[in-house]
Amino acid sequence: MVKRILIIEDEQIMSDLLQRKLSEEGYEVLLAGDGEEGLVKMRSGKPDLILLDIVMPRLGGIEVLEEMQKEPDLKKIPVIVISNSGQPVELDKAQRLGAKDWLVKTEFDPAEVIEKVKKNLGE
């Protein structure tokens, strides 16, 4: 069965690149440009995994994680945080709110993101 991945990222080129890479790898990709849209899409689309940016307009990544904690259905979806800053404080907070893994954008490239996705989907 094709795994569905939701990318919540406001920087369009980043989500485009990720979508392309993930599609090449055979995943089905959903896109959301901010946290609010992300919550709507995860409720309707039931993704197997979420790639979540932290700094976003309207609703940020940390708030998205907080919302997900309140809903059992959403809480069990694995989340990989894609962080711009890589600040330990931020990453720690994300992990406490259930994020399974994280990566810092400037330190990773799309191929490595795929590795993390596969690992977290148990593939």
Partner 1 sequence: MAKDLNKIPDQEPEALENSKRIFSQLPLPACLIGDNGIILGVNDEFGRLSGYSANEMEGRSFENIFFERNEAVSAMEGAVKKRIELRLIAKNGLSVPVNLFLSGKKEGQKGNIAVLYDMTEAKKSRELLEERVERRTKDLEESRTALMNILEDVEEAKRAAEEEKDRTMALISNFTDGLLFFDKRNRLSLINPKAQSIFCTKAGEVTGKHMASLGEIEKMRPLKEMLGDDIRDVSREEMALNQNLIVEISTISVLKQGEQTGTLVIVHDVTREKMVEKLKTEFVSLSAHQLRTPLSAIKWTLKMFLEGDLGKITEEQKEYLGKTYQSNERMIGLINDLLNVTRIEEGRYLYKLEAADPAVLVQDVVDSLKEQIKNRNIKFTFLKPKKKISEIKADEEKIKLVIYNLLANALAYTPQGRSISIFIEEEGGEVKIGVKDEGIGIPKDQQGRIFTKFFRGANAMKVDTGGSGLGLYISKNIVEAHGGSIWFESEEGKGTTFYFKIPKGGRQGA
Q: What is the DSSP string of 37-83?
A: HHHHHHHHH--SEEEEESS-SSS-HHHHHHHHHH-HHHHTS-EEEEE
Residues 6 or more apart whose Cβ sits within 8 Å of residue 81: 52, 53, 54, 61, 91, 94, 99, 101, 102, 103
Question: Residue 101 interacts with partner 1 (CB under 8 A)?
Answer: no
Which segment (18-26, 39-47, 63-71, 73-81) binds partner 1 by CB under 8 A? 18-26
Question: Residue 17 interacts with partner 1 (CB under 8 A)?
Answer: yes
| Binding-residue pattern over the window 61 to 80 for partner 1, x denoting contact by CB under 8 A | --------------------
Number of residues in contact with partner 1, rule: CB under 8 A? 16
- Backbone CA torsion sign across 15, 23, 68, 120: negative
Considering only residues 20, 46, 58, 119, which one is a binding residue for partner 1 as defined by CB under 8 A?
A: 20
Residue 92: enclosing H or E segment and its boundaries? helix 88-96
Considering only residues 45, 69, 73, 109, which one is a binding residue for partner 1 as defined by CB under 8 A?
A: 109
Considering only residues 46, 58, 96, 106, which one is a binding residue for partner 1 as defined by CB under 8 A?
A: 106
Amino acid present at 74: L
Sites of contact with partner 1 (CB under 8 A): 11, 13-14, 17, 20-21, 24, 84-85, 88-89, 105-106, 109-111
